[in-house]
């Protein structure tokens, strides 16, 4: 009942905490994106565009249907944040590229995730390293598909 020391937290407690952190980070991201007139999905797509990416690759990354990407990229393109370029080696594929404006916007969104940045700043170097190591061990298992 009380806020006792978590000697050995139950898996359920850990799960709940992980979910709460994930939710909070997502809200932070969505809020920052919204300040720049973007939905969280649009921002997520923009965040993937380090370089040119075919529509299909984008759909794979987002784990969604290809037809969905068409609409999202349509709207990003209408705002001038992204361009569709023909692929020189395969005339079927269209590579999506972030424009200068697009790169600028997503950079600012990342910078403006204040809650997340603030929370991470409360951790010292040692704690950061420990957390990083633990999460890195968790990651491969989490990304395995059923």
> What is the contact surface with DNA in residues (CB under 7 A)?
39, 41-42, 54-57, 59, 62-75, 84, 87, 90-95
Interaction mask 30-59, a copy of itself, x per CB under 8 A: -x----------------------------
Encode burial over 133-142: b for 16+ CB neighbours within 10 A, e otherwise.
Answer: eeeeeeeeee
Number of H helices, E strands in the chain: 7, 3
Residues that bind a copy of itself (rule: CB under 8 A) add up to a total of: 56
Least distance CB 5 / a copy of itself (angstroms): 9
Residue 64 engages a copy of itself in binding (rule: CB under 8 A):
no
Look up residue 51 and give its two tokens: 């370089």
Residues in Cβ contact with 38 at an 8 Å cutoff, skipping those fewer than 6 apart:
46, 105, 109
Q: Is 24 helix (H, G, I), strand (E, B) or coil?
A: helix
Least distance CB 19 / a copy of itself (angstroms): 7
Q: Which residues bind a copy of itself (CB under 8 A)?
A: 6-9, 11, 13-15, 17-29, 31, 63, 110, 113-123, 125, 127-146
């Amino acid at each position: 009942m009380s806020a006792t020391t978590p000697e050995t937290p139950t898996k359920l407690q850990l799960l709940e905490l992980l979910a709460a952190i994930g939710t909070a980070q997502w809200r932070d991201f969505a809020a920052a994106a919204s300040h720049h007139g973007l939905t969280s999905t649009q921002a997520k797509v923009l965040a993937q565009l380090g370089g040119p990416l075919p529509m299909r690759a984008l759909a794979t990354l987002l784990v969604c249907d290809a037809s969905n990407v068409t609409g999202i990229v349509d709207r990003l393109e209408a705002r001038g944040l992204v361009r569709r370029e023909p692929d020189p080696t395969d005339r079927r594929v269209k590579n999506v590229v972030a424009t200068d404006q697009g790169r600028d916007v997503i950079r600012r969104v990342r910078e403006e995730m204040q809650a997340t940045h603030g929370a991470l700043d409360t951790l010292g170097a040692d704690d950061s390293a420990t957390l990083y190591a633990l999460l890195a061990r968790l990651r491969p298992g989490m990304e395995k598909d059923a």
